[in-house]
Amino acid sequence: MVVTSVEIIETCKEKLLLTKANLLNRIFESKNDYFSRDKGLDEGDQSMANLAENDFLTTQERLRKQILEIELALSRIANGTYGICEETEEPIETERLLAIPWTRLSIEGAEIQEALKRKFAFKE
């Protein structure tokens, strides 16, 4: 089995930490924006506020999930399993790690999981 180089792992770790910091800043800023809005709204404005709240919550959940994936990648770095595909147990392509440092799957592993989702109509 080929082991991911220390240099690649360090580069990915830096990207993960930077991305995590950026996501946390986005969460903080969007919360501040959301909670600083005027709450005394008429009925029409209230409908728009409800849509905005739904959008806010959806975005927050997406960002939370991405931060979780980053945390999991950082823990894989710490325990020495970073860069190993969870599906095939083979090394993940270096280019893929550099592009998506929180990925858990190689291209082959992602294709296998996609095929299974299509076959069994799994939803995320």
| CATH 1.10.3720.10 given to domain 6-120 | no
- Give every CB contact of residue 96 below 8 A, 6+ residues apart in sequence: 103, 106, 107
Q: What is the pLDDT of residues 26-70, one digit of tens each?
A: 999 888 877 776 666 666 677 777 788 888 899 999 999 999 999
pLDDT at position 41, please? 63
- pLDDT tens across 73-123, in order? 999 999 999 999 999 999 999 999 999 999 999 999 999 999 988 888 755
Q: Where are the domains of the chain?
A: 6-120
Query: What tokens were used for 101?
Result: 């440092």
Query: For residues 117 and 95, what is the distance between their CA atoms, to the nearest angstrom?
Result: 25
For the question of whether the overall pTM of this predicted structure is more than 0.85, the answer is no
End-to-end Cα distance, the chain: 31
